Amino acid sequence: QSVCEPLATGIVSIDAMIPIGRGQRELIIGDRQTGKTSICLDTIVNLKYEKVLSVYVPVGQKAASVLDAYQQLVKRDVYQALAIVMASASTSAVMQYLSVYAGTALAEFFMYNLSLPVFIAYDDLAKQASAYREISLLLRRPPGREAFPGDIFYVHSRLLERSAKLNYACGSGSITAFPIVETLAQDVSAFIPTNLISITDGQLFLSTDLFNQGIKPAIDVGISVTRVGSAAQQDQMKMVAGRLKLTLAQFVELEAFSQFASDLGEDTARALANGRRIREVLKQDVASPMSIPQQCAVLSLAGSGVLARIPSDSLVKVFLGYFLSLPSWCFLYVSTKVLAVALIDYVVSK
């Protein structure tokens, strides 16, 4: 059936502006060391609260890197709902090529036989394509563009089309896929990235420039898309995040313009200050997923202008730390806005 059930990643910028649905295939694309694997690991951690099984398939990675990721997940108590199918860089090309199919077969077992929702992350498919290229060249098959064999598109489409959302008659299970592909110098026009963009239901583009500026996760909202859209988003999130993407895009344009303008109007200065506060709200540390109610509370504050009372950007994270640590019963008796104003006054006074 069509994708209509949300899958919460715990990452504010994704759940608010690029919502993911169960059964969707969302490509994560970016240069090396921009946080692609971290997004998958944080999603796996958050999904243990959603009762979704996870399969992590590292392909062609160093064994030490995979061990480090595994230890992080064990430390966060995720191992009971997690399977890792690994083919490290030291294994043969055949093992690296087949490992993604083994991981998908495992996910399909839970989807078809137990009717469970499953999340699978392929890290990364560019290395699997390189392994398949090596096999094809050894078999003396004619090479094509970038020396890849002619059926490389079929290899990846056959893999990713196995992710789906089943209807009620088939058990309502699902497989949600996050394929990762690494680019060189943000070149998304290379052969494998363009193939995967055309196969998947959207992409999260991670920018090196944003990462170097300290904006993490470094998701470029202007380029990142989801073809499912708000069909797989909670009603309360639609209410608070409806205009967020547009506001952020306008802020980026204003910020670029303000670098060349010496005298800014009062309205422009206010819009820039509000945009900086929203950008601070969307920053999120690794291993700190937020629940949907927490995200909605924070985004409602960003949209209402309450954060403008905070005198500096650096205090926004301090305020959010206090705000998110409040017990849930507080919000039953006192409105979110009143709580936030009181907490801001406390943080500023300190």
Closest Cα partner for 18 from 195, 193, 248, 300? 248
The one catalytic residue among 22, 25, 76, 227: 227
Do 103 and 162 contact (CB within 8 A), yes or no? no
What is the distance, to the nearest Å, from the Cα of residue 83 to the centroid of all Cα atoms in its chain? Answer: 20
Give dist(CA 243, CA 259) in Å, integer: 25
| Burial class (CB within 10 angstroms; exposed 0-12, middle 13-18, buried 19+) of 255 | middle
Asked if 227 is an active-site residue, the reply is: yes
Q: DSSP labels for 299-318?
A: HHHHHHTGGGGSSSTHHHHH
Contacts of 25 (CB under 8 A, 6+ apart): 160, 163, 176, 177, 179, 199, 200, 201
Helical ranges in the chain per DSSP H: 12-17, 36-50, 63-75, 93-113, 125-138, 152-160, 191-199, 208-212, 235-241, 244-258, 266-282, 292-304, 314-324, 330-333, 336-349
333-343 as b/e: b if 16+ CB within 10 A? eeebeebbeeb
DSSP β-bridge partners for residue 82:
54
Q: Starting from the edge strand earliest in sequence, which strands make up the sheet with 225-226, in order?
A: 82-84, 53-58, 117-123, 174-182, 27-30, 202-206, 225-226
Polymer length of the chain: 350
DSSP β-bridge partners for residue 204:
28
Q: Would you name the residues annotated as active-site residues?
A: 227
